[in-house]
Amino acid sequence: MTTLRRVLRLAERLASQGQPHPSHALRVRFHLILMVPVGLLCLILGLLLLACEAGSTSIPLLVVGAWPFVAGIPLILSGKLHLALSFLLPVAVAVNLYALDVEHDPTTAIIGLLFILVLGAWTQSWRFVLFLVTLCVGSVLVWPLLPHLPATTVTGPDVTLYAALITMIGVTCALGSFSFDRVLGALDAGLADNAQLTAELSRANSDLERRVNERTQELQEVLHRQRKLTAELDELSQRDDLTGLYNRRRLMNTLTDPFMHDRTHSLVMVDIDHFKEINDSFGHAVGDQVLRKIAGTLSTLVREDDVLARIGGEEFALLLPDTTQDAAARLGERLRDAVAALPWGEELEPGYQVTISVGVAGSDQHPGVAGSQQWDQLLLHADKAMYVAKASGRNRAVAAVGAGIGRFDIRPRRASTG
């Protein structure tokens, strides 16, 4: 079995050199598996009968046994070599005529023999027109030789039987070859069409996939740039140009975020004391420097999740998530101390002190605003507390107490200096 597989692979490899048809491998397998064994069997029987001097029976078997090998020539040879060998077929006809008695209708045997040796071989490679040409040429070449061929021991009625057998074998082989080739031809045509369509479809799919990938990549890059630009614009729209802190828009968005609901948070309002006098005395450019310096100082004292925003003029707001009012009041005091300790010799004049007033309100001390949409009430509490701090002398932190506006815990920390 292993040897047979090797022979099949070798034959297919040799056949693929001269035959491009898609079904050629199937043709080679059919020829090797079915036709060659039949031919070998006929050859063996013919030789045995010939050894037993049964000439009238052995010669047809020998011819039949030779046919599969001659018919297989186009399967294993290149086109040019096959064409060259085909012209030797008339010689093969002449040689086989030695077994005939020329007095008994050799024409029938010639036609049958040509069918066997030529028709099967040529129809294997779809050259039926060349078969007709070869048949005619072979007949013309062989006919003058007939009178010169010696007679053999095959005489009498045996020649008629021999000619009839040859004719039947030739016609049968021809018809079988035609039928087989018609099936394979249709199969080849379908396979060729399918192969061409598959190749075209594969190329189209590859081109489409490449174009889709390129377009997808372009769209992804555009979307990435757009998202990045949108994020940058959104960030810029929520930043204060002067100080770099968040603005009122970001503060309001955070206060109204549903994530802030049901959480304890506090709000710290900061206002720079006597800022108008600084602008009037030193100019707005110096006033901007003061705002930036105070904003930077406040930023160093807040957490990453806290929202520190400049909400207008010299006013700042600090939102402290998850922070009670008492904790926010202590932070407000630290903010006030840090600003009061800043040196202003370069921006203003030596010994000048800038202070802030701080108002604090926490949702834990004002149940009406905890976890609700009443963020404006918390902002109002903190803002009111800051103005109480200013009215109480500035430079101090005040925490709002109670549920009603106007009730505050006034905690003066240090006397105002200006």
Q: How confident is the model at residue 49 (pLDDT cuts 50, 70, 90)?
A: low
Per residue, what are the HEC states of 355-372? CEEEEEEECCCCHHHCCC
Instruction: Decide if pLDDT at 306 tops 50.
Output: yes
Which is more confident, 195 or 57? 195
How far from the centroid of its chain's Cα atoms is residue 222's Cα?
20
DSSP state of 110: H
The closest alpha carbon to 16, from 24, 27, 7, belongs to 24
The mean per-residue pLDDT over the stretch 353-363 comes to 92
Q: Which of 44-53, 169-178, 260-269 comes out lowest in average pLDDT?
A: 169-178
The closest alpha carbon to 319, from 246, 368, 391, 369, belongs to 246
3-class secondary-structure state, position 415: coil
Q: How confident is the model at residue 308 (pLDDT cuts 50, 70, 90)?
A: very high
The mean per-residue pLDDT over the stretch 258-285 comes to 86
Burial annotation 281-297 (CB, 10 A radius, 16+ → b, else e): ebeeeebebbbebbbee
- For the record, the structure tokens of 338 come out as 């840090």
Cβ-contact 42, 61 below 8 angstroms:
yes
CATH of 248-399, one of 3.30.70.270, 3.30.2130.10, 3.40.50.10490, 3.40.640.10: 3.30.70.270
The mean predicted confidence, pLDDT, of the chain is 69
Active site amino acids = 314
Cβ-contact 307, 387 below 8 angstroms:
no
The mean per-residue pLDDT over the stretch 363-369 comes to 73
CA distance 211 to 204: 10
What is the DSSP annotation of 279-331?
Answer: HHHH-HHHHHHHHHHHHHHHHTTS-TT-EEEEEETTEEEEEEET--HHHHHHH
Enumerate residues 6+ apart whose C-beta is below 8 A from 47: 58, 62
CA distance 55 to 63: 12
Burial of 311 (0-12, 13-18, 19+ CB in 10 A): buried
DSSP state of 348: S
Inter-CA distances, 329 with 54, 406, 407, Å: 130, 17, 16
Cβ-contact 90, 141 below 8 angstroms:
yes
The mean per-residue pLDDT over the stretch 269-282 comes to 91
Instruction: Decide if pLDDT at 307 tops 70.
Output: yes
What residue segments make up the domains of the chain, in order of their start?
Answer: 1-51+59-101, 149-237, 248-399
Amino acid letter, 272: I
Instruction: Decide if pLDDT at 338 tops 90.
Output: yes
State the pLDDT at residue 312: 85
Instruction: Report the greatest alpha carbon distance in the chain.
Output: 152
3-class secondary-structure state, position 269: strand
Q: Which of 167-171, 255-259, 281-285 comes out lowest in average pLDDT?
A: 167-171
Inter-CA distances, 353 with 209, 344, 347, 350, Å: 70, 7, 11, 9
CA distance 82 to 72: 10
State the pLDDT at residue 263: 76
State the pLDDT at residue 414: 44
3-class secondary-structure state, position 408: strand
CA distance 101 to 153: 8
State the pLDDT at residue 407: 39
- For the record, the structure tokens of 106 come out as 């050799």
3-class secondary-structure state, position 107: helix
The length of the chain, given as a count of residues = 418
The mean per-residue pLDDT over the stretch 45-70 comes to 57
- For the record, the structure tokens of 111 come out as 């036609």
CA distance 167 to 163: 6
Determine the Cα angle at 23 with ends 22 and 24, to 5°. 95
List the beta strands (DSSP E) in 193-247. Answer: none
Helix (H) or strand (E) holding 400: strand 397-400
The mean per-residue pLDDT over the stretch 62-84 comes to 53
The mean per-residue pLDDT over the stretch 389-393 comes to 90
Instruction: Decide if pLDDT at 47 tops 90.
Output: no
Instruction: Decide if pLDDT at 131 tops 60.
Output: no
